[in-house]
Structure 1
Amino acid sequence: MVLGATTYSSNAPFLAAGFDRGGFDTWITRMFASPVTVVSGHLTEPLDWPGTTIEAGDPVEVVTRLKAESEVPLRSHGSLTLNRALLNAGLVDTIELTIFPVLSGDTGVDRVFDGVADFDLELLAARTFDGNTQVLTYRPARHA
């Protein structure tokens, strides 16, 4: 997992001693058990999340190196600023969008793709769970 500092900080409390993670789905359970690299210039070690390291510096350079070194695909969750930079740099192989059945036009705070170049998306997979929520997986290609 590769996360930005804000996403790391918002998820770290779920690892506190005594926090009941029994209701998490398998993806979330796997995420919390995965080694994590936090790209941050202001967080310092040690971090509360076991198996977490901090990488300071340009996120594009950090992730380019991590992709070359990793034997498994990297995954990021949340981390809007980080993921926007990685998408614009051509480092994102797939995008998984979760569509929840709610519109938050007045109360929404961040539009996910603000600041991202135009991309065409090729649908690779689609699934529905809980009867309402869609998970769509796309391959991005910069729009010509």
Structure 2
Amino acid sequence: MRELMVDLFSTLDGYGGGGPQSAPYWGYDGPELQKWVADQLAVEHVTLMGATTYRAMSEVVEQGDDPSFARMAELPKIVFSRTLTPPLTWANTTLVSESVETAVPALKALDDGLPMRTMGSFSLARSLFRLNLVDRLRVMVFPTLHGTSGEEPVFTDLPDVTLNLIDSTVLDGRLVLLDYRIGERLT
């Protein structure tokens, strides 16, 4: 069975967007973070995302020249949406209009060995958690607080679950990557 990992980038107070720092990675880019991103892209996997993330990322990739964009185009991507219509412009992207509740268990059951990872897509991540489909959670914590200006709270409306820490890593002397295996569901 395929593993499903939710990857989230978060401020220390749990926001995934907004705030006073609008630069990529909230202005905390660095060589170790870039190496981590490249290492993650080097691993064969299927990326899951929702329509909002697809729209944003496909536009960024189309207009940008980051070296990672070519690799992102090569990887298989699945977009869950009832509003997007084919053809999708980002290479190797499959549009799925059936419910996450139906589609993801079928995708997890495929025996091709490719793990699945989310990209952004907080509402998709929440759905996957509510449906008890997540095997691992990785949170990259950025050293900033967004308090009253934060947008997109990352952990809102998640079910109560225990997390078993697999690993923790400090990148660039300031970012903390927490890697958890999902434990028991408490609610």
Using structure 1 for the length normalisation, give the TM-score.
0.88
Q: 1:39 to 1:110 in 2, by over 3 A?
A: same
Q: Offset of 1:32 from its aligned partner?
A: 4.0
Q: Offset of 1:14 from its aligned partner?
A: 2.7
Q: Contact 2:73–2:92 at 8 Å: present in 1 too?
A: no
Larger relative contact order (Cα-Cα within 8 Å, sequence gap ≥ 6): 2
Partner of 2:81: 40
Q: Of 41, 49, 65, which residue of structure 2 is paired with 1:20?
A: 65
Q: How many Å separate the matches in 1 of 2:70 and 2:170?
A: 20
Q: How many Å separate the matches in 2 of 1:94 and 1:32?
A: 24
Q: Offset of 1:68 from its aligned partner?
A: 1.1
Q: Offset of 1:143 from its aligned partner?
A: 2.2
Aligned residues, how many?
139
Per-residue CA deviations over 1:4-51 (Å, capped at 9, x if unaligned) read: 10111110013316x2113x5xxx764443110100001011112100
Q: Which has the higher strand share?
A: 2
Q: Of 57, 62, 74, which residue of structure 1 is paired with 2:103?
A: 62
Q: How many Å separate the matches in 2 of 1:111 and 1:15?
A: 25
Q: Of 108, 122, 137, which residue of structure 2 is paired with 1:95?
A: 137
Name the amino acid aligned to 2:98.
G
Partner of 1:3: 49
For the residue of structure 1 that corresponds to 2:114, the secondary structure is coil
Q: How many Å separate the matches in 1 of 2:49 and 2:95?
A: 10
For the residue of structure 1 that corresponds to 2:138, the secondary structure is strand
Per-residue CA deviations over 1:74-105 (Å, capped at 9, x if unaligned) read: 11111111111111111100001010000011
RMSD over aligned Cα atoms: 1.7
* 1:98-109 correspondence runs (5 A): 98-109=140-151
Q: How many Å separate the matches in 1 of 2:137 and 2:100?
A: 18
Q: Are residue 110 (structure 1) and residue 152 (structure 2) matched?
A: yes
Identity across matched positions, percent: 35
Q: Contact 1:14–1:21 at 8 Å: present in 2 too?
A: no
For the residue of structure 2 that corresponds to 1:43, the secondary structure is coil
Q: Contact 1:15–1:48 at 8 Å: present in 2 too?
A: no
List structure 1 segments (4+ residues) > 3 angstroms apart after TM superposition. Answer: 28-32
